[in-house]
Amino acid sequence: ADFDARVKKTAEIEKVDYIVELKLDGLSISVFYEEGKFIKAVTRGDGKVGEDVTENIAEIKSIPKYLKNKINIEVRGEVVMPISSFEELNKRREENGEELFANPRNAASGTIRQLDSKIVAERELDCYFYYIADGGNYGIKSHYEALKFISDIGLKSAGNYTLCSSVDEIEITIKKWEEARHNLPYETDGMVIKVNEYRLYDILGT
């Protein structure tokens, strides 16, 4: 509620829409397409310099080699290991006398940093996209539009997001997911509340 009040005061407006989305517990990556073709993938790293993981990311089946549109674009997503894949992986490691992974996030992160890309393919990682760098270049004016655009060009979005117009709606959404998240095929580690309209970002700061 305090955040909502600060946003309205700073932007000098009376109504603000928010997107409330699940925060997936995995490894953040940026994927680059040129003329719609997959060319590169890097980890977030320290926020400025990431690790090139192109060869391994190319083995994730849910990341297309070609988009539906021939555009140059950078999209950010979360690489996750589905809970079923994680349990199967640890079962095999236990049978082989190998050290078990503590959780799916560590398993996903460790897999992406493997030197052998064949191992990545075997471990059935998944990826969900949630952000477009420089969305304004594609006529996108809000985060809601960006999430729709991600799906339209053939990328996978988690789909677990809600457009909210009040703090009450935000709280209802959070309460809903406190229970529902336990039925998802992957782990989450919170929720993210984002101002929807991009025009407000320059005023508020990102």
23 is catalytic: yes
- Alpha carbon distance, N-terminus to C-terminus of the chain: 19
Q: What is the DSSP string of 136-187?
A: GGGT--BHHHHHHHHHHTT------EEEESSHHHHHHHHHHHHHHGGGSSS-
Nearest to 142 by CA among 53, 23, 18: 18
Kindly name the residue from 23, 40, 156, 194 that is annotated as catalytic: 23
Strand partners, 74: 32
Q: Return the active site residues.
A: 23
